[in-house]
């Protein structure tokens, strides 16, 4: 056993996986061997979920059956929706509301008492979780705006249904396609903190619900899931100040402030997901006639490139453009991280099922640095 300490487990191999492959040096991301560019632009999110959970792309018949079941599972029990409305009334954080609502779902799951080592059961429970998260999030946001929840529309796909339940209006093709692509881009990304947290819980043979709840908790931390919100706040700060984005970025760096959406623990070049979202932001900006966020982000990216950050391995990540895309779709800023969870739940579930198929309890050790010779003194003598 090695005594080398690797803080944060950086570079430590803890599992083998067929799910996603990342080459940070050239900006490659694969899901089960398929390039993210192909999946994001040529496949629906439902196809990607099937791929992650079944190890192959579906046939037309398989996709129709899978989509029908996913659609049927979107409906959420009234008691859960009541709890969601209560949390909205109490001004709960959206991630707290999501975590709490998901923890209520097994109460109404017909297979809640099934064996956790049955992969088919785990896959069905995972499908139910994935299907219900959009309904929960849309109901929460509407409740805090004093609006009634919108029932899922069985004729809409996963991405389109969320936008419809959020706004009450059927999205146009550009919005639905863009959001579907965003879901695919966020579905999986190796053993990031939330995925690993899900796997640690799953390694105890806990059920899929418990494991996904752990992933939501990990994603809620500002070092993992909140960068897209930080980017949006940066852009709004620039806009409200009427500042030039390049001059703002120069001053921010001079003050020691970090530019959100820049840098990644794996990528040394521009995140391939950022390239795709930048393209979609251009399409949305052209459609709306408002290029403000596009102008700001591209100006900052150009300036930082000229400053040599890319050569130093610090480049735009997926969050640098996702916030602007979501804003164009009318999604509130504090819903960006919950939407991340909505997409990433598919990846969490895939990793949970994969790891439990050849399970070993994850039990690392820590190097002890405390005292070894403390003398106990009875409490009345202290």
Query: From CA 247, how far away is CA 303, in angstroms rounded?
Result: 9
CATH topology of domain 28-222+345-356: Citrate Synthase; domain 1 (1.10.580)
Instruction: Tell which CATH classification among 3.40.50.10420, 1.20.120.920, 1.10.230.10, 3.30.9.10 matches the domain 227-328.
Output: 1.10.230.10
What does the pLDDT read at residue 2?
60
Task: Tell me which residue has tokens 């709960």.
Answer: 92
Closest among 271, 357, 345 to 15, alpha carbons compared: 357
| pTM of the entire predicted model | 0.93
**Residue 20, H or E segment:** strand 20-23
Q: Which residues are catalytic?
A: 264, 319
Chain segment 284-338, per-residue pLDDT in tens: 999 899 999 999 999 999 999 999 887 788 889 999 999 999 999 999 999 999 9
Q: Which pLDDT band holds residue 101 (cuts at 50, 70, 90)?
A: very high
Q: Are 208 and 125 in contact (CB under 8 A)?
A: yes
Chain segment 180-223, per-residue pLDDT in tens: 999 999 999 999 999 999 999 999 999 999 999 999 999 998 88
Query: Residue 1 pLDDT > 70, yes or no?
Result: no
What does the pLDDT read at residue 176?
95
The domain ranges of the chain are: 28-222+345-356, 227-328
Q: What percent of the chain has pLDDT over 70?
A: 99
Query: From CA 233, how far away is CA 88, in angstroms rounded?
Result: 22
Query: Which spans in the chain are helix H?
Result: 36-42, 45-54, 60-72, 78-89, 94-104, 119-144, 158-167, 173-185, 193-202, 208-219, 227-241, 245-254, 272-288, 292-306, 319-328, 336-356
What does the pLDDT read at residue 46?
98
């Amino acid at each position: 056993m090695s005594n080398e300490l690797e803080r944060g487990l950086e570079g430590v191999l803890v599992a083998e996986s067929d799910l996603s492959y990342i080459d940070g040096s050239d900006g490659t991301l694969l899901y089960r061997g398929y390039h993210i560019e192909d999946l994001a632009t040529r496949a629906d999110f439902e196809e990607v979920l099937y791929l992650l959970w079944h190890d192959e792309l579906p046939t037309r018949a398989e996709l129709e059956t899978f989509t029908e079941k996913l659609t049927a599972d979107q409906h959420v029990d009234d008691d859960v929706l009541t709890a969601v409305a209560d949390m909205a009334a109490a001004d709960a954080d959206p991630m707290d509301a999501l975590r709490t609502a998901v923890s209520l779902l097994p109460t109404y799951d017909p297979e809640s008492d099934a064996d956790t080592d049955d992969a088919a059961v785990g896959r069905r429970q995972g499908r139910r979780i994935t299907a219900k998260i959009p309904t929960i999030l849309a109901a929460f946001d509407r409740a805090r705006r004093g609006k009634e929840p919108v029932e899922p529309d069985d004729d809409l796909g996963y991405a389109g249904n969320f936008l419809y339940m959020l706004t009450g209006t059927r999205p146009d093709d550009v919005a639905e396609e863009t959001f579907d692509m965003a879901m695919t881009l966020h579905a999986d990304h190796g053993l990031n903190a939330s995925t690993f947290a899900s796997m640690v819980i799953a390694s105890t043979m806990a059920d899929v619900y418990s494991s996904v709840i752990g992933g939501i908790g990990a994603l809620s931390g500002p070092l993992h899931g909140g960068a897209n919100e930080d980017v949006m706040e940066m852009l709004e700060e620039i806009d409200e100040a009427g500042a030039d984005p390049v001059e703002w970025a120069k001053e921010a760096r001079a003050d020691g402030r970090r530019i959100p959406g820049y840098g990644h623990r794996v990528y040394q070049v521009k995140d391939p997901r950022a390239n795709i979202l930048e393209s979609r932001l251009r399409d949305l900006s052209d459609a709306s006639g408002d290029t403000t966020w596009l102008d700001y982000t591209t100006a900052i990216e150009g300036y930082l490139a000229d400053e040599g950050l890319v050569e130093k391995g610090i480049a735009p990540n997926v969050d640098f453009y996702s916030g602007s895309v979501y804003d164009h779709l009318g999604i509130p800023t504090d819903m960006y991280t919950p939407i991340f969870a909505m997409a990433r739940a598919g990846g969490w579930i895939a990793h949970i099922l994969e790891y439990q198929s050849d399970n070993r309890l994850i039990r690392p050790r820590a190097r002890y640095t405390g005292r070894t010779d403390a003398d106990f003194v009875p409490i009345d003598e202290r």
